[in-house]
């Protein structure tokens, strides 16, 4: 089943063409790694897949339906079908660990109690239940990234989009994060991960290589 499809996606920033007629199909349950040198367009592609950025031309389909670029549609998909994990955790320092994981759920319309319960469930799964009441600055970098993963998973997304998710982590935490991704993928979550690290890319089921705004290899 094709979950997400990009057709002839072009992205122009100023005079520069950063994505050149890129087409890509993401099927349910895939674990895709996107690799390539800096400036090859990997993150731009990820942002378009995650509906954070609008392509200059081309079509995006979700479950074989063309996505209309309307605020309500885009925001609903971002909130309920997609989850983001970035290189930097981007946790909200005004919220504690638990509240950070609750934030997307409250937007989805869950009650405070439901959101809290789900957040605790995810934090327990990621080994952070004991730190749920901690402030963000009171936990380590690896823990922050795990909280960011919990936040991305809060609304049960169908696709997890990760932009260099281990870029700021040490080897031990990188392993831990990769294990989480593999577990999630085994459970059915589709994962698309941008990375520089070939050893991490090798752990994905499919590797897409980009160069100069084009897909040059898909294996």
Report yes or no: 24 and 206 within 8 Å, Cβ to Cβ: no
What is residue 158's three-state secondary structure?
A: coil
Query: Closer CB to other proteins, residue 78 or residue 131?
Result: 78
Say how many C-beta atoms besides its own lie within 10 A of residue 90's C-beta: 12
Pick one of 3, 19, 33, 78: the residue that binds other proteins (CB under 8 A): 78
214, with CB counted inside 10 A (0-12, 13-18, 19+), is middle
Report how many helices (DSSP H) and strands (DSSP E) the chain contains, helices first.
7, 10
Q: Min. distance of Cβ 112 from other proteins in angstroms?
A: 7
Q: DSSP character for 68? A: P
* Residues near 71 by beta carbon (within 8 Å), at least 6 away in sequence: none
Segment near other proteins (CB under 8 A), from 26-34, 75-83, 123-131, 176-184? 75-83
C-alpha to C-alpha distance for 158 and 166, rounded to whole angstroms: 21
Say how many C-beta atoms besides its own lie within 10 A of residue 105's C-beta: 23
Pick one of 71, 172, 187, 199: the residue that binds other proteins (CB under 8 A): 71
Pick one of 10, 80, 168, 175: the residue that binds other proteins (CB under 8 A): 80
C-alpha to C-alpha distance for 12 and 78, rounded to whole angstroms: 23
Segment near other proteins (CB under 8 A), from 89-97, 123-131, 169-177, 186-194? 89-97
Interaction mask 102-141, other proteins, x per CB under 8 A:
xxx-xxx--xx-----------------------------
The interface with other proteins within residues 28-47 (CB under 8 A) comprises 43, 47
Pick one of 17, 61, 67, 95: the residue that binds other proteins (CB under 8 A): 95
Query: Closer CB to other proteins, residue 144 or residue 207?
Result: 144
Name the residues that contact other proteins, by CB under 8 A.
43, 47, 50, 52-53, 71-72, 75-80, 84, 86, 88, 90, 92-95, 99, 102-104, 106-108, 111-112, 151, 163
């Amino acid at each position: 089943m094709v979950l997400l499809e990009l057709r002839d996606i072009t992205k122009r920033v100023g005079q520069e063409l950063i994505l050149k007629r890129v087409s890509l199909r993401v099927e349910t349950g895939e674990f895709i790694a996107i690799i390539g040198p800096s400036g090859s367009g990997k993150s731009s592609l990820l942002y378009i897949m995650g509906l954070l950025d609008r392509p200059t031309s081309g079509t995006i389909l979700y479950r074989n339906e063309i996505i209309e670029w309307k605020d309500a549609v885009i925001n609903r998909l971002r909130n309920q079908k997609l989850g983001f994990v970035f290189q930097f955790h981007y946790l909200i320092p005004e919220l504690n660990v638990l509240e950070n994981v609750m934030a997307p759920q409250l937007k989805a319309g869950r009650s405070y109690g439901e959101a809290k319960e789900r957040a605790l469930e995810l934090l327990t799964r990621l080994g952070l239940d004991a730190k749920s009441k901690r402030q963000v600055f009171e936990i380590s970098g690896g823990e922050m990234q795990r909280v960011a993963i919990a936040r991305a998973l809060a609304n049960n997304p169908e696709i997890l989009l990760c932009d260099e998710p281990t870029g700021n982590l040490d080897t031990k935490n990188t392993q831990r994060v990769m294990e989480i991704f593999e577990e999630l993928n085994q459970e059915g979550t589709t994962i698309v991960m941008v990375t520089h690290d070939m050893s991490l890319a090798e752990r994905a089921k499919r590797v897409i290589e980009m160069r100069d705004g084009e897909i040059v290899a898909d294996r």
